[in-house]
Amino acid sequence: MLNFALIGAGRIGKMHAEIINLNPNSKLKFVYDVNQEFAKNVASLSNASVVNKAEEAINSNEIDAVLIASATPTHIEFIKMAAKAGKPVLCEKPIDLDINKVNKCKEELKNIKSPIQIGFNRRFDLSHSKAQQARSKKEIGNLEMIIITSRDPAAPSLDYLNAAGGFFRDTTIHDFDLSRFILGEDPVVQVSAFGENLFDKNAKTAKDFDTAMFILKSKLGVLVHINNSRRAVYGYDQRVEVFGSKGMVISNNQTPNSIERFTSSSTSSKETIHFFFIERYQQAYRDQLESFIEMINSNSKPKVTFEDGRKALIIANAAYESFEKKKIIDISYD
């Protein structure tokens, strides 16, 4: 049984608290949030205690692992605190919006062995991981193209946008990581990026995009397309297509049930797809925690490393550079 400290008790933190308690091998012990009401609420639902300072939880002898779901700018501080306390960390993405801070953190922690896992939950989705296996097991022969469609159901609030750090670093970063996951050893070396503000006034105010498209190129010449939107009226559109010399595998959307309707105007109509990430990636979030627990218990390495988080951010930064310079950008991971 692993006892967890949860740092951050907002929407995502609350979801993680529930998942920790559902897992028979983990228990939520302490909750910290800068907003004490949030912390109390989550703690009461989980039979956990609230602490006033993150240190209290992280450094407690009763704690075996730390889950960081606080605001992005605080991630590095808590990662370092936990790492120095020798506690394994599962930290929500992105590590930080500033690559310099991330690099500095990497340097600081280079001698610390406590494992850090980054929350790219989509790698644990049953369907997406089958698509990855289609590449790694050569089921589709040699990989030639990847097409990732990732569209949110509805645009977020202005507050969210102002804090999130921009469409490419906050949202597309999942797809950059998913591209890396499917590509395996073959690194992304180029990116071309287009961003638009087509419909969302908040995005305009925040000088952010609501619509974007990308092409990535790997060292071996595999081409990857990503398209993103902050609004898809039919639900949270999450598709991955993997194409190679021997075939194609598509990880398609999922509906909450298997009903099909036939009327005088249409046939085979299904329900709208899962509303958003909490519904769509429920299994993935659970398996992410399961994998994190197994990693600790078996003293192995995390399936998604700090370095994975750093590299996804480097691609996002290169995408911004492509957009600004109207160029195809070569990517360096140094």
Which 85-124 residues touch its own copies, going by CB under 8 A?
Answer: none
Question: What whole-number distance in Å separates Cα of residue 4 and Cα of residue 66?
Answer: 6
* Whether 231 contacts 154, CB under 8 Å: yes
Backbone angles phi, psi at 170, to 5 degrees: -95, -40
Question: Of 258-277, which residues contact its own copies (CB under 8 A)?
Answer: 258-273
Give me the long-range contacts of 309-312 (CB less than 8 A, separation at least 24).
309/91, 309/93, 309/94, 309/95, 309/102, 309/118, 309/120, 309/177, 310/95, 310/99, 310/102, 310/103, 310/106, 311/180, 312/93, 312/94, 312/120, 312/173, 312/176, 312/177, 312/180
For residue 293, give the 3-state DSSP assignment: helix
Helix axes 36-46, 11-22, angle to 10 degrees: 20
Q: Should residue 221 be labelled a site residue for its own copies when binding is judged by CB under 8 A?
A: yes
Question: Of 127-186, which residues contact its own copies (CB under 8 A)?
Answer: 127, 130-131, 134, 139, 142, 144-145, 147, 149, 151
Region binding its own copies by CB under 8 A among candidate stretches 109-117, 157-165, 175-183, 241-249: 241-249
For residue 322, give the 3-state DSSP assignment: helix
* Of the residues 194, 204, 278, 321, which one makes contact with its own copies according to CB under 8 A: 194
Question: What whole-number distance in Å separates Cα of residue 300 and Cα of residue 223?
Answer: 32
Question: Of 315-334, which residues contact its own copies (CB under 8 A)?
Answer: 322, 326-328
Region binding its own copies by CB under 8 A among candidate stretches 94-102, 169-177, 196-204, 297-305: 196-204
Residue number, 71 or 145, with CB nearest to its own copies? 145
Q: Should residue 26 be labelled a site residue for its own copies when binding is judged by CB under 8 A?
A: no
Question: Of 285-314, which residues contact its own copies (CB under 8 A)?
Answer: none
Question: Least distance to its own copies from the beta carbon of 215, Å?
Answer: 5
CA 292, 13, 113 angle in degrees (round to 5)? 35
Question: Least distance to its own copies from the beta carbon of 205, Å?
Answer: 17
Q: Should residue 212 be labelled a site residue for its own copies when binding is judged by CB under 8 A?
A: yes
CA 146, 333, 277 angle in degrees (round to 5)? 45
Q: What is the DSSP letter of 35?
A: S
Question: Least distance to its own copies from the beta carbon of 1, Å?
Answer: 14
Region binding its own copies by CB under 8 A among candidate stretches 9-17, 82-90, 223-231, 296-304: 223-231
Residue number, 71 or 154, with CB nearest to its own copies? 154
Q: Should residue 232 be labelled a site residue for its own copies when binding is judged by CB under 8 A?
A: yes
Residue 121 tokens, joined: 């939950």
Question: Of 46-65, which residues contact its own copies (CB under 8 A)?
Answer: none
Q: Should residue 213 be labelled a site residue for its own copies when binding is judged by CB under 8 A?
A: yes
Binding-site size for its own copies (CB under 8 A) equals: 72
